Amino acid sequence: MIGRLNHVAIAVRDLAAASALYRGTLGADVSAPQQLPEHGVTVVFITLPNTKIELLEPLGANSPIARFLEKNPDGGMHHICYEVDDIVAARDRLKQAGARVLGDGEPKIGAHGKPVLFLHPKDFSGTLVELEQV
């Protein structure tokens, strides 16, 4: 059901500083910041030969990333994203298997302009999982 690894997301307090670190210290290709108000984040993507790294900064006080950073003041890995061919079929299969889909269970449009869903970390060894339809 799952396809390739799309990205690993890392929550950061200062997106500009984190972007500069990846760009300057690691020599990475870092995208321009993109605000996603519907998700409460500002993101950049670091392109690697085999996947991407997504840096997430809170956008507003109610951001889920702000809450994550309260518990993890230095930031850290927030979620991992896998690609799926059909997000609704994947959702239905996962729910039937007992996995919990976060939110209202309906796909939302993510940073890449494609439908995404998040799965409860307690169902996946403590890791928040994002599915993105390709």
- The residues spanned by each domain of the chain are 5-133
Active site residues: 130
Does pTM surpass 0.85?
yes
pLDDT mean across residues, the chain:
96
- CA end-to-end distance (rounded Å), the chain: 12
With beta carbons less than 8 A apart as the criterion, state whether 1 and 25 touch: no
Q: How far is C-alpha 94 from the geometric centre of its chain's CA atoms?
A: 19
Q: Is the pLDDT reported for residue 48 higher than 90? A: yes
102 exposure class (CB count in 10 Å sphere: 0-12, 13-18, 19+): middle
Q: Where does 44-128 have alpha helices with state H?
A: 64-71, 87-96
Q: What six digits make up the tokens of 123? A: 């169902």
CATH topology of domain 5-133: 2,3-Dihydroxybiphenyl 1,2-Dioxygenase; domain 1 (3.10.180)
Which pair of tokens denotes residue 100? 């919990």
What percent of the chain stands above pLDDT 70? 100
Q: In residues, how long is the chain?
A: 134
Query: What CA–CA distance (Å, rounded) separates 123 from 116?
Result: 17
- pLDDT at res. 88: 98
Q: Which contiguous run of DSSP H or E holds residue 19?
A: helix 15-20
Give me 107's structure tokens.
Answer: 């796909």
pLDDT at 61 over 90: no
